[in-house]
Amino acid sequence: MTDALTLDGFDLKILAALQEDGRLGNQELAERVHLSASQCSRRRLRLEERGVIRGYRADLTPGPLGLTVTVFTKVALATHNRDNARRFAELVRGLDCVLEAHVLTGDSDYLLKVIVPDLKALSGLVNDVLLPHESVAHVHSSVVLDTLKEAAPLPLPRAPAA
């Protein structure tokens, strides 16, 4: 979705509540935003259908799952053409350790957020997967030492004046 929708105060309250707790049932959500359950359900469904709400998922803690190394990896492509970009995109989509992939301006073409169990796994990703790939020219990785802020709720616009 690229165009902003017109959202009223109730829509914004629903979105704020769901960003805080995606497990809210319809009745509890309706009570929080001061709507009837049926009105709340219709609005939530509309927000889902229009792509404002992409989905619901659990927020897992990586450490207990053995995923202890977070890395930001910049990638420069070997050549800048559509086929090369497509090949790289296919590669990245097949890598479970890549949490996010962004196309950039500047000296790198892509920024990947990667999570792996250890530095050996990172080395394998860089040396055995990324660098040998025909689409890739350069890779630069930075290991995260500490995280100050992560997965923050989206800043919602203010409700229109009544």
151 in any annotated domain? no
Tokens 């970009």 found at = 85
Residue 93 lies in domain? 63-143
Report yes or no: 122 and 69 within 8 Å, Cβ to Cβ.
Answer: yes
Query: Does 36 share its domain with 67?
Result: no
Each residue of 44-91: pLDDT tens digit? 999 999 999 999 999 999 999 999 999 999 999 999 999 999 999 999
Query: Does 87 share its domain with 39?
Result: no
41 in any annotated domain? yes
152 in any annotated domain? no
CATH code where residue 114 lies: 3.30.70.920
Q: Which residues contact 96 (CB under 8 A, 6 or more apart)?
A: none
54 in any annotated domain? no
Q: Provide the mean pLDDT of the chain.
A: 95
Query: Does 28 share its domain with 71?
Result: no
Helix axes of 37-49 and 26-33: crossing angle, nearest 10 degrees: 100
Query: Does 21 share its domain with 78?
Result: no
**pTM of the predicted structure, to 2 decimals:** 0.88
Query: Does 97 share its domain with 28?
Result: no
Instruction: For residue 70, give both structure tokens.
Output: 């977070």
C-beta neighbour count of 122 within 10 angstroms = 20
Each residue of 120-135: pLDDT tens digit? 999 999 999 999 999 9
31 in any annotated domain? yes
User: How many structural domains does the chain have?
Assistant: 2
